[in-house]
Amino acid sequence: MPVNHHLARARKLITEQLQAIRESLLWILPCLMIISLTLFIASVGEFIFGRDEAWVKTVFELYYFVNDLFPILLTAALAYILAMRWRLPRPPIALVLIVYLSLFNQLFSVTQSTVIFELLISIVTPLYAVPLIAHIYGLRWLKLVSNNHLGRIVKESLNLIIPSILVGVIVLALNSSIILLIESSHLLNLFSINYSDSPIEFGAMFAMLNSFFWFLGIHGYYALLPLVDVLQNAVDVAQFEMQTTGTTAHFLNHSFMAVFTFVGGAGSTLGLVVALLLFSKNKAYRLIALASLPLGMLNINEVLLFGLPIIFNPRLFLPFLLAPVANTIVAYFAVSHGWVAMPVTGMPFSSPVFINAWIVTQGDINASFLQLFNIGVSCLVYAPFVLMNNRVTSNKTILFSSFDTTYSRRAEEAHTLSDDRVSQLVNDFKQQQELEDKLHAFSNKEFCLEYQPQVCRVSGKVVGCEALIRSIDKQGNIEYPGTFLPVFKQAGLMKDIDRWAVIQVVHDLKIAIAQGWAIPTSVNLTPETILDRDLMNQIAGYIGRVGEYVNVEITEESLLKDRPTVEASLHALHRVGAKIYIDDFGSGFSSLSYLTIFDVDAIKIDRSFIHTLENVKGQKVFNGLISVAQDLDLNVVVEGVESEMQLERIPMRNHLAIQGWYYCKSVSLPKLKQYIATRNRSVTHHNIVLEQT
């Protein structure tokens, strides 16, 4: 069981990390378009006017400048998303990660490995640095500020100082160790292949390795520079042999790979563009493909690499690897059989498709037709995977600013994780659409807590309250949880709501404590939260400083789940001083057995029992529950009391409290303070009068 639990957690973490990478790549798509358009203009200018033209040089310099910023932008976007997932202040975390990467690049910019792996480092660093910061940030003894007197932003910024410094040291040490290890191991030399033994094997391996490195976020061109030099030299040899002998065996060279293999860029992605435009049912993918088409005609495909994305996307890994290999084999076959002239003129990778093939073959129009044929070949390679993607991938995100969370509908994750929270929705589009329409409606509303007092049956004083969530629209109308909690439960957002509610209760309790009128406050936790050990440890940490005032209400449904996990969660709450209440007691099965199995402090008798007090059997059952609770030294809260007649049928017990509209509906925090003061003063005055009479 522990092994399966750890495997499930690891699987979930990997999926969340991949999702964060993909979302961050989409976030920087506008920046990427600007960078790619800069290169597009520079490449067109070079092709028409030559590299020595002044304005062409200037545009290329601009491109190199903004392109150098790309890894930093990627790190910032990924750090921001991970900060949301780990509940950290977003802008400071993004800025801290920018500083980490900038310091590292400045210290190690002279090494070849840093240049090659810069993109990978910009992705990997936030993946481990942000969780480390979150862990250290959660340690109380490292916090510089513990109260909110200075304001939330100041408090968060000051408390991030120590974690940021400690993790910064770790990042520099770890990243530098990796680079030094790569340098000393000569890892890149493992990919050296002898060109003279078999040019076609050399070309196919180069194409495959280039795609493989790009898929991992490693700049394939730089990683394979020794092989690129071999291909560049082959161009010179081919030119010499053609001039002296009229033929050459070195036609598979740099120009060959540039015009026939990488049609559209690394992975031969012009074929992917065509496949997306023809077969994809995803409107966003088709728009990305359309936007990348002009750039792809210059073999610039960063929009696809980072926009779809292709990087770290397992669904496109195989065709991204195979398409350029297929193009290499087809082109080699065509050229070796004399159907297309041998390419002997130098040509950069970023040159216009069709025109570049015509130039490198000294004006052979068949070379352009071969390019067109290879686009079709790579399209056929990508097409099955695009069609497969239609069946299993969908993606919608709805932001709930009040809860600091999002709802993501991803059939892709449902395919990966057997316990995906939306797997049941994937097969029913209508149900999905209805759910998302409701979520969109609630995403525009604010959420708050109201408090319903609990009154001692004997003294009549307020002895506690329960926190109840409410939604408020723009007109100030209040909606009760029955209208929105079922929707959030269906969407799998209850854990986020539980966490938000606990934070709000703790915040309000701190205010009440400071003002001297705090009372025990109950907050509800759902089964999903109780069964999430990591989240329960976070919640216990939130509750810690006001634990004596917190009562956590759980349902009988929670107790039916994984018993060891439930016991661990209850123990974590007890450890910080919180009390455990079983909510809606008596409405489920085997209720009495829970009182002996689990360490609970109180029960809340379900409101359905109040309606049975009018008959003898109902009174006996009700009184029996109270007697059992008294014998077990458990407190009792009776819910749903709405009339004086119902109140009179409830026995006088010191351990018993009443909650219901008879005394008070749920109210805001300021009104709760006023109600407590008024009621307790009135009860005290009444008791004094009775004593005097």
Burial grade of 577 (CB within 10 A; 0-12, 13-18, 19 or more): middle
Residue 1: per-residue pLDDT? 46
Residue 610: per-residue pLDDT? 85
- Model confidence at 637: pLDDT above 90: yes
Residue 654: per-residue pLDDT? 82
Judge contact between 443 and 398, C-beta under 8 A. yes
Across the range 168-189, mean pLDDT stands at: 78
Judge contact between 350 and 297, C-beta under 8 A. no
Least confident of 27-31, 148-152, 310-314: 148-152
Coil/strand/helix, residue 429:
helix
Please report, for residues 559, 592, 613, 614, the alpha-carbon distance to residue 607 in angstroms, rounded to integers and kept in the order given. Answer: 20, 17, 11, 13
Percent of the residues in the chain that have a pLDDT greater than 70, as a whole number = 85
pLDDT in tens, 341-370: 998 877 766 778 998 898 888 889 999 999
Q: Phi and psi (nearest 5°) for 638? A: -100, 120
Q: What is the DSSP-derived secondary structure letter of residue 259?
A: I
Distance CA 236, CA 242 (A): 10
Query: pLDDT-based confidence at 589, cuts 50/70/90?
Result: low
pLDDT in tens, 313-336: 888 999 999 999 999 999 999 999
- Model confidence at 152: pLDDT above 80: no
Distance CA 352, CA 596 (A): 77
Beta strands in 640-690 (DSSP E): 656-659
Residue 104: per-residue pLDDT? 87
Burial grade of 24 (CB within 10 A; 0-12, 13-18, 19 or more): buried
Task: Give the count of alpha carbons within 13 A of 498, CB side only.
Answer: 22
Question: Pairing between strand 579-585 and 550-555?
Answer: parallel
Query: pLDDT-based confidence at 428, cuts 50/70/90?
Result: very low
- Model confidence at 687: pLDDT above 70: no
Residue 677: per-residue pLDDT? 92
Query: pLDDT-based confidence at 21, cuts 50/70/90?
Result: confident
Q: Between 589 and 297, whose confidence is greater?
A: 297
Residue 222: per-residue pLDDT? 64
Judge contact between 129 and 17, C-beta under 8 A. no
Residue 412: per-residue pLDDT? 38
Residue 403: per-residue pLDDT? 61
Tokens 């919608």 correspond to 396
- Model confidence at 407: pLDDT above 60: no
Q: Between 647 and 434, whose confidence is greater?
A: 647
- Model confidence at 601: pLDDT above 70: yes
Query: pLDDT-based confidence at 689, cuts 50/70/90?
Result: low
pLDDT in tens, 464-512: 999 999 988 878 888 888 888 888 888 888 888 999 999 999 999 999 9
Q: How far is C-alpha 30 from the geometric centre of its chain's CA atoms?
A: 20
Distance CA 100, CA 92 (A): 12
Judge contact between 636 and 655, C-beta under 8 A. yes
Least confident of 212-221, 442-451, 584-593: 584-593
Least confident of 95-104, 141-150, 187-196, 202-211: 187-196
pLDDT in tens, 26-52: 677 777 778 777 877 877 787 778 778
Across the range 387-411, mean pLDDT stands at: 60
Across the range 223-247, mean pLDDT stands at: 83
Highest mean pLDDT among 153-157, 208-212, 560-564: 208-212
- Model confidence at 402: pLDDT above 70: no
Highest mean pLDDT among 27-36, 647-656, 680-689: 647-656
Q: Between 14 and 451, whose confidence is greater?
A: 451
Least confident of 26-35, 58-67, 684-693: 684-693
Residue 56: per-residue pLDDT? 86
pLDDT in tens, 367-389: 999 999 999 999 999 999 999 88
Residue 268: per-residue pLDDT? 92
Residue 337: per-residue pLDDT? 92
